A = this chain, B = another copy of it.
């Protein structure tokens, strides 16, 4: 299991939930929190860009090292910034060794299996970083809000997810779970911007308005899921996301710290290569 990262991550201790025995209060997190910000937006953007370049270097080393895999989970309501995080934080890494999986509602074949079946097939290999844009957590959010599964089945799903993630971390996968937390007002502005801007309108889905009407139920479902599945091996981090720059700054900072803490290194050279001359 990867070592905890006390230094940098202690800045965020109130945003991290790693104890499935205690409830996590999502409403206590201010979506407009800017604790990492310099107060100067342009300066913060430059900092994100610097971190993205450092993450690219670390990813190159991660790919070479091949002792670990990394699974990054991005969850959040519609417009919370999952695509934007992919571009802003991961957009400097080489596509060799990094890829994103955008999860949709399960198709007929996937529904004929248990919910984690399709997830297994998309997991990162050693050396790879896979980013889930939505994830297996949709299966404990959508049915809970839609009231299509019982409380007992919900608890079983949480427990199976915890077992699944523990098995992954025990076998070399580092799991980073981020819940992008925005306010209901911020979502209204972003949905309206999608409608009004021809370059964004393609992302607008009328179903998002239905989900918006269930805002309170989704917030409760997120709080319950985070409470139950924030574990020592795969903690949840709630990321204040009303500001896109702050969101990227927090996520990039955390990922950089997690990667540095792994003690990555280029694999040692086999002794028979020493002094070899290519002709």
Contact = CB atoms under 8 A, between A and B. Distances in A.
Interface of A: 56, 60, 64, 83, 86-87, 90-100, 102, 131, 133, 188, 191-192, 195, 198-199, 201-204, 206, 209, 212, 266-267, 269, 273, 276-279
A201 B273 contact: yes
A2 to B, nearest CB: 21
Contacts of A60: 87
B93 A95 contact: yes
A60 B100 CA distance: 14
A94 B96 contact: no
10 contacts: A83-B94, A86-B95, A90-B94, A91-B95, A96-B102, A188-B279, A195-B273, A201-B269, A202-B267, A204-B269
A206 B47 CA distance: 41
Q: Is the interface of A mostly helix, strand, loop or mixed?
A: mixed
A269 B196 CA distance: 10
Give the top 5 A-B pairs by smallest Cβ distance, nearest first.
A99-B99, A95-B100, A87-B94, A191-B278, A64-B202
B131 A266 contact: no
Nearest to A192: B278
Given A188-B278, A278-B188, A273 B204 contact: yes
Contacts of A206: 273
Contacts of A95: 86, 90-91, 93, 95, 98-100, 131
A178 to B, nearest CB: 15
Contacts of A100: 94-97, 99
A87 B276 CA distance: 28
Contact of A199 (B96, B195, B266): B266
Nearest to A64: B202
Given A64-B203, A91-B92, A199-B266, 6 more contacts: A83-B94, A93-B95, A95-B100, A96-B133, A201-B273, A202-B267
Contacts of A267: 201-202
Nearest to A66: B202
